[in-house]
Amino acid sequence: MRQVVLDTETTGLEVERGHRVLEIGAVEIIDRKNTGNHFHEYINPQRAIDSGALEVHGLTEEFLADKPVFREISERFLDFVGGAELVIHNAPFDMSFLNNELSQCEEDSLGNWNKSGGLLILEDICGVLDSLALARDLHPGQKNSLDALCRRYEVDNSGRTLHGALLDAEILAEVFLLMTGGQTQLFEINETSFDQQKSDVKGLGVSMDANALRKSEITEEEWRAHRKLLEIIEATSGQKPLWPDINP
């Protein structure tokens, strides 16, 4: 399965007020592995940048003045994302901006992606998964910004003093893989804890069967979260999870 984790930076928050995309960053994941392939472009938005947006990403009009406009990179962008499932944090925001950019492109700048003519939107050629909605399902009532998820999943984002589309896409890719089945660290912690328990028991002169079955009670909330995770893994991988689907 091919997925593209994507992020944009914009001149402001409201596409309805004519704000534009000024940076796109995207990284490729195939069968849950980051391939290292990426797409990254700075774009001349041909308009002023709101002061609030400038504080977030630090990209000035002077820096972007000699960069290509969107229509000049549109075919390469579509070649990279076409046919993939897009993973975007707060997908409706980025999708509205990208579709607005596509709507302003001449048909011949879209290459073979607009064979039928007329208006092209990304949903015509890509699937879309909103990682913010996914995080809210997994962690209801908690903060689910990218920074909050980095803290929760112990992903290093110390280099993220300003938002940058490619850096944010790379961080989101790591968080997304952990959210949708990255259980390695959890098992390592449990095994370390069990080894320590064995050591502590031996120190008391008590024998302990290392193969003894370890049981623990789970709450109804934990069970629902487990079921939700199984559904997410199946939806994102196209395969049934290896974990048994047994109601305790």
End-to-end CA distance of the chain: 32
Residues with Cβ < 8 Å from 123, sequence gap 6 or more?
95, 99
Using alpha carbons, select from 229, 243, 237, 239 the residue that is nearest to residue 33. Answer: 237
The alpha carbon torsion through 164, 169, 170, 171 (nearest 10 deg) reads: 80
Using alpha carbons, select from 105, 95, 38, 39 the residue that is nearest to residue 70. Answer: 105
d(CA 44, CA 106): 17
d(CA 49, CA 105): 21
**16-17-21 Cα angle (round to 5):** 80
Answer yes or no: 226 catalytic.
Answer: no
Work out the burial of residue 68: count CB atoms within 10 Å of its CB; fewer than 13 is exposed, 13-18 middle, 19 or more buried.
Answer: middle
Render the burial of 162-174: b for 16+ CB within 10 Å, e for the rest.
ebbbbbbbbbbbb
Using alpha carbons, select from 166, 129, 130, 131 the residue that is nearest to residue 148. Answer: 131
Residue type at position 51: S
Q: Given 38, 40, 139, 163, which residue is catalytic?
A: 163
Active site residues: 163
